[in-house]
Amino acid sequence: MKYQLFFFDIDGTLRSFRTHRIPESAREAVGRLREQGGKVIIATGRDRRSLPPLDGFSFDGYILVNGGHCLTTDGEVLFERPIPMEILERMMAVGQREGFAVSMLTDEGMYADSTNDNMREFLSALGMPTNPAVVDLRDVAQRTPCRQLCVFMSPEQEKRIMPEFPECVSSRWSPLMADINMKGVTKASGMDCFMRHYGVDPSCTMAFGDGGNDVAMIRHAAVGVALGNAVESAKQAADYVTATVDDDGVLRALQHYGVL
């Protein structure tokens, strides 16, 4: 098989925002990839605790929190780079100044310093509980790594405040919030971890995504595929734009390239 390593975003790529389910066509297609010897990696902005149900969906590894935590399905950690306490404290202070909510993803799940309408709307769209635990995030970060910050600010606020955080990079897959990771951490850097782990050449990779946080991954793969429901930046980065997630986009792209 020409392509050996396949990277899939979850929300809006494998999993429908409309039904909150993985279409059967995508489930079967990924199963066939693995039967043919391909390795399948989930690449998501979520942490492991907040992953949607993936029962019966077989894969080989995780790129979590946009590349900040990479591990195989048997638990071997290939890379991790959490958010330092100092940056967490600064972001919380800016959130208080600017009036936006800050949440953090951890190995225990999601915590927030406050909630707002943007957060509730975003979590509802993902089919997640809309009332995360509101706590002092510094207390949580003392006992478990802060894997990622999710900041419920507008795109205009993001442009204004991110220069205050030169150590970080922001990515956005929703107009309601931005993910904050350490500079150099992207889904593309997560791809490199798995290419090294499996000894796969970049020319043998395919990546599928729909959001702004998928752009680096789509560009980094030998073949980058954007779903028909993708944001414009993902479509512009892609080698091929397939159908929507609800219209069997994953399967159609694999058939287009002769993989299945």
Cα separation of 97 and 184, whole Å? 27
Distance of CA 229 to the CA centre of its chain: 16
Q: What structural domains does the chain harbor?
A: 5-80+185-256 (3.40.50.1000), 85-182 (3.30.1240.10)
* pLDDT given for residue 135 in this prediction: 94
Give tens-digit pLDDT for 51-61. 888 877 889 99
* pLDDT given for residue 191 in this prediction: 98
pTM, whole model, 2 decimals?
Answer: 0.89
129 band by pLDDT with thresholds 50, 70 and 90: confident
Res. 122: pLDDT tops 90: no
CA distances to 28, 173, 226, 247 from 22, in Å: 10, 19, 16, 11
Report the b/e string of 67-77 with b at 16+ CB within 10 A: bbbbbbeeeee
